Amino acid sequence: MFRECLDLYKSNLGKIFLISITVVFPAVFLYAFVVNYLTFPLDVFFIPVLPHIINLFFTVICFMFIQIPFANMALQYARTGEVKTSKVYGDLLRYGFSIYVVSILFAFLITLGSMLFLLLGLILLILFQSVVVTAVVDDKTGWQGVKQSFAFGKAHFFKLLGWMLLFVLGDFIVSFILSFIAIATTNLTLIANLALAISTALTLSLFVFAVTYQYLDWIQDEPVNDPAEDVGQPVLSNF
């Protein structure tokens, strides 16, 4: 599975950069704008906790939304051995709004859980973050997607937890390096946000690829949304 993820990553690095500029960057920029707008008055009046709550809430929404194109890339590559950009953006348009709506609910629950007990928020995130993959792979949105994500998360909880921790660590390292370079060479906030978007795409893509491949293995490689059927070509087996 990891070999297929790395093959997908290396052979489609250009498309990952394209997604980072056209999808991740606008989402991260909008996230930063909204969070800064909402938290600035709180910082002025020295209200310490609420800005962190707001930041976590919108981080979860952004985190779930930008997974959509990478989940589609993994699905296409697993089933056909290639990635068509048109299908990536097609699924983004198809599932973007429903994922956004569901992510608001999860953001509220995860934020509330983190306020009550930090570990509870992490558990909820692991159990339900794959709702994006269930939508892209099996066309399950809304309550069906929530139930499927919970079942998958429960079955592979510790594996997903390990991948999540690796993603957070990798994202921190890459983001620190690229942000440092951006700040050292220019004072433009736009460039710094672009560097952040690229670093997020480089690390998040691998995480989503791994989750998607694991999910395909869990459903015995029988997705409802099968790209191989759309193009009428033989199905590739990666397991």
Query: Residue 149: CB partners within 8 Å, gap ≥ 6?
Result: 127, 128, 129, 130, 131, 133, 134
Confidence (pLDDT) at 50: 82
Confidence (pLDDT) at 16: 93
Q: E strands along 130-197, which residues?
A: none
Q: Print pLDDT tens along the chain (239 aa).
A: 778 888 999 999 999 999 999 999 899 889 888 988 888 877 666 677 788 888 899 999 999 999 999 999 999 999 898 999 999 999 999 999 999 999 999 999 998 888 888 788 889 999 998 999 999 999 998 889 999 999 999 999 999 999 999 998 988 888 888 777 777 777 666 777 777 788 888 899 999 999 999 999 998 877 877 787 765 555 454 44
Model-level pTM?
0.88
Confidence (pLDDT) at 191: 75
Domain segments of the chain: what residues?
A: 2-222
Per the rule left: phi > 0, alpha: psi between -120 and 50, beta: everything else, 236 is beta
Confidence (pLDDT) at 237: 47
Quote the CA–CA distance of 74 and 233 in Å, as a whole number: 17
* Number of neighbours of residue 74 by Cβ within 10 angstroms: 30
Q: Which of 9, 35, 45, 77 is nearest to 193 (CA)?
A: 35
